[in-house]
Structure 1
């Protein structure tokens, strides 16, 4: 009869709940992967620009093209504009 063992859906309820939880985990993972991929692939202009400018500044200082004072001044300016 239908009333035995909790009715018609009584035996399947734990499996249905497990499937629902697994679906939430799956879609949560998919959404997280999409957001992660977008953040990794999108260029971060401020940090990339500042890093490359600092690298160029360091190279110029290492080659002797600029003095210590000029290096420090320009480095300070770059750090201020990067914020």
Structure 2
């Protein structure tokens, strides 16, 4: 009895095992890549947004919009 592509289903079980093994490894590697990208994206985002906030705070202080006391207090909060 012939199966798909003329192969016997019973004799081609190694193909299925190999295919599912590849699929399992592809899913595992994909999950690891996704986790690493998510972690690095979040850490980069907080780093850059923090720097942007500190830069904006410094700019407001230089322009005289806030006092030195306010500047130091807010800078301390942002750096924690």
State TM-score, norm by structure 1: 0.47
State TM-score, norm by structure 2: 0.48
> Whose RCO is larger (CA < 8 A, sep 6+)?
1
